[in-house]
Structure 1
Amino acid sequence: MVPVRLTGPRLAVREYHLTEDDVDALHALFGDPEVTRHLPFGPSGREDCADQIELYLEEAMAEERDTYRLAVTRLADAEEPADATPIGQASLTLDGHRAAQLGCVLARASWGRGYAGETVGLLCDFAFGALDLHRLAARVAVDNAASVKVLTGLGFRLEGRLRHDAFKDGVWSDSFLYALLADEWPGACTRGRTTG
């Protein structure tokens, strides 16, 4: 595995570590009902979060890696970003046709600071640069205006509404599908440095 590390002006995106700090941070994220409101699952327990990190590390070791679930940290939180406590998660799931699904979720205390835009920008740089992808897509709950604003601000275009796309807590809900093509992105590595 070549570890992924992306850095922007304020944030770093890195591989997860199976440490108490990373497990606690993922639990603080996925254990919060407000954070998981727009996710396809409800709040998770701490043991489930530890299991998730083990899965992320297994995915990272795959011979042909197709899933990137990465920790988002603030650069100011540690001298070395690899030691910083995660404040969110960024993800790319490749589909084998030079395309991927993109995701980003941040802890509630980090909302409203522009971190989501910086994180998604770093993922776009990585996807269209190092991974040489052609298309990124993101599904967004129709009532998640903040995520829509982030995506459209980075040039993602609405491609349609997916009816009854998600089933959670006994209720079907719709999603918007947004996408961005490589030639619509203003060039890899313009928003940060990428390695990996």
Structure 2
Amino acid sequence: MVPVRLTGPRLAVREYHHTERDVDALHALFGDPEVTRHLPFGPGDREECADQVELYLEEAMAGERDTYRLAVTRLADAEDPADATPVGQASLTLDGYRAAQLGCVLARGSWGRGYAGETVGLLCDLAFGPLDLHRVAARVAVANEASVRVLTRLGFRREGRLRHDGFKDGVWTDSYLYSLLADEWPGPAARTQGG
């Protein structure tokens, strides 16, 4: 396993650790009904989150890794980002030839600060850089306007609407499908210079 460690201006994206801190942080995220409102699952308990962290570590150790579920931390929260408490989760799931599905979830206290854009940018740097992917896609609940804005700002294009894509709490919901291709991604240097 080659551990993933990505660093942006304010955030770091790293592998999860099987520690009380990381499990508690994941539970704070996935145990919050407001955070899981647009996700395909409802709030989970702490034991489920501990099982998830264990699964993430198993996925990270896979011989041919196809799933990256990573902790998002604030650089200001610790001298070493590996010691910081996660404030979100970032994911890339490889699906097909040089393609992946992207995901990003942040704790409610981190909303409205531009962290989602920075996190998705770091994931795109990983996808189009070291992973040498050609296409990254993201599915977004139609009602999740904040995520739609983030993807649009980063250059993702809407490909269409997936009707009755999700079923939660007895209700069918639609999703938008967005994608970004490698030659459409400006890369970290262009973004830092205002691109």
* 1:82-161 → structure 2 map (5 Å cutoff): 82-161=82-161
> Match for residue 21 of structure 1?
21
Structure 1 Cα separation of the partners of residues 145 and 39 of structure 2: 14
* 1:59-70 → structure 2 map (5 Å cutoff): 59-70=59-70
After superposition, what is the alpha-carbon deviation per residue over 1:99-152, rounded to whole angstroms, capped at 9, x for unaligned? 000000000000000000000000000100000000000000001000000000
Work out the percentage of aligned pairs sharing the same amino acid: 86
Structure 1 Cα separation of the partners of residues 190 and 19 of structure 2: 32
TM-score, length-scaled by structure 2? 0.96
Structure 1 Cα separation of the partners of residues 190 and 62 of structure 2: 29
> Match for residue 172 of structure 1?
172
3-state SS of paired residue (2:187): coil
Q: Find runs of 4+ consecutive structure 1 residues off by over 4 angstroms.
A: 188-192
Structure 1 Cα separation of the partners of residues 180 and 58 of structure 2: 28
Structure 1 Cα separation of the partners of residues 121 and 188 of structure 2: 9
Q: Which amino acid in the other structure matches residue 86 of structure 1?
A: P
> Match for residue 78 of structure 2?
78
Residue 91 of structure 1 and its aligned partner are, at CA, apart by: 0.1
Q: Which amino acid in the other structure matches residue 154 of structure 2?
A: L
Structure 1 Cα separation of the partners of residues 189 and 37 of structure 2: 32
Residue 54 of structure 1 and its aligned partner are, at CA, apart by: 0.2
> Match for residue 182 of structure 2?
182
Structure 2 Cα separation of the partners of residues 2 and 184 of structure 1: 27
Relative CO higher for 1 or 2, CA cutoff 8 Å, sep ≥ 6?
1
Structure 2 Cα separation of the partners of residues 188 and 35 of structure 1: 28
After superposition, what is the alpha-carbon deviation per residue over 1:41-73, rounded to whole angstroms, capped at 9, x for unaligned? 000000000000000000000000000000000
* 1:37-48 → structure 2 map (5 Å cutoff): 37-48=37-48
Structure 1 Cα separation of the partners of residues 140 and 128 of structure 2: 21
Q: Where does the alignment leave 5 or more consecutive residues of structure 2 unmatched? A: none
Residue 170 of structure 1 and its aligned partner are, at CA, apart by: 1.2
RMSD: 1.0
